[in-house]
Chains A and B, each alone.
Chain A
Amino acid sequence: MNYELGKSWELGLAWIFGSGQAFTLPTSAYHDNISGYNQVRYNFSERNGVRAPSYHRLDLNFMHKFEMYNIPWVFSINIFNAYSRRNPFALYLGYDYSTFGEETKTVKQITLFPIIPTFGLSFEF
């Protein structure tokens, strides 16, 4: 969507939504100790059997048009992922360690891009 904010300012807005990506993750844990060692094994979901949280972000774009040296200029501020949504890039089973060395299993999420501002200046001749 684009809005004109006065004669020289313009606001652009885009909201992107996608259902969560599919991953293969462990769905249960068990002991394999037939060999005498208590080894923890995982039983995984079907291939791509686990759905990650949904993906969404808001991109904003402010444009200011002005004239300098008799040529038209455009100054722009772009904000990618304006509300810094932590969109999942990958999920995995990870561990957290306390100061006493105790480990806790959690589902960890890697996010690639938080809020990213960019600036631009362009002119036509």
Chain B
Amino acid sequence: MNLINKIILLITIIFIISCDDMILNLDYELPFEEKLVIHGFYENTEQFIRVRISKSIPALQEPTLENTLVDDAECFIKFDNTEVKLIHTTDSYYMNELPIEFEIDKEYELNVKWKNKTAKVINRIPKLPEVISIDTNTVSNRYGTYLQVNLNVKSRDTGFLFSSHLFTNELSLNRIFSHTLLDNKNREYIFNILEIDYLYLSGDYMERYLDYEFSIGIASLDFNNYYSTRMEGYSGNDIFGNNGINVEGNIKGDAIGYWYGYQTWSGLIRDYFQKDK
């Protein structure tokens, strides 16, 4: 084989090698730290609450009910000088053995111990803002012109104020979750509770909505940390599939997750509506 043939053979081999797949499976152990995963809410109208306590597993495994189950954790809710035990019921859900009268503006502490892991969170149900009045204004955007019904409130506490507000137009009647942050006490806020498309309006349009019952709710201000990151924590099947942002919560210790208190309240538009404004 002369030199030219050898070079051609070498080039051919190299070209064939170059055609290999450039995405490969890596035999790589990702670092793993087992954590408790705690999810739960409580409200002032419920005496028995459910808290889900499970555990995280290595990222390369698929979480199931069985492999994330934690059924032997010690779980307590502490308030004043009282301690109420939560017991495992089913599927990693824990419930309090004795009824608890959850009071507004009182701190409740959730404690969880499992193996050598501990988790703790202190939370309270904030006070609802004072409803001063309800008025309307007109807004226009590229989708149309809408009548907005606004709740004028004065905060008595800081908190995450939310509502499932009604949005109506010719074709549909939708409920949209909306929220605002009350980050100062004793300050006035405007909160939209109802939107009506002008195309849908005729006659004394507000008359038919005066008996509309709106409802608002409030959770602690740090609920916004969870709410604004609740869609994170995903990893898709490609190079740009994750942005590395975790779902945030308020649990401290060897755990991830959240436990928030909230309250809701309902009222009639008629009772607060100021027609002339």
Contact = CB atoms under 8 A, between A and B. Distances in A.
B203 interface: no
Interface string A87-100: 01011111110000
Contacts of A107: 25-26, 28, 30, 60
Q: Which of under 10, 10 to 19, 20 to 34, or 35 or more describes the interface residues of B?
A: 35 or more
A92 B239 contact: yes
Interface string B14-37: 110110101111101011111101
Contact of B63 (A30, A34, A114): A30
Given A43-B256, A112-B22, A114-B17, A106 B39 contact: no
B58 interface: yes
Given A47-B244, A117-B14, A94 B238 contact: yes
Interface residues of A, number: 46
Contact of A28 (B11, B24, B56): B56
Contacts of B120: none
A94 B34 CA distance: 21
A123 interface: no
B40 A34 contact: yes
B26 A91 contact: yes
Contacts of B238: 92, 94
A109 B23 contact: yes
A64 B246 CA distance: 57
Contacts of A54: none
A47 to B, nearest CB: 7
A58 to B, nearest CB: 14
B37 A30 contact: yes
A36 B56 CA distance: 18
Interface stretch (A10-18, A19-27, A65-73): A19-27
11 contacts: A26-B59, A26-B242, A29-B58, A29-B63, A30-B56, A30-B63, A31-B68, A86-B24, A91-B26, A111-B23, A116-B18
Interface of B: 7, 11, 14-15, 17-18, 20, 22-26, 28, 30-35, 37, 39-41, 52, 54-63, 65, 68, 233-235, 237-239, 241-242, 244-247, 256
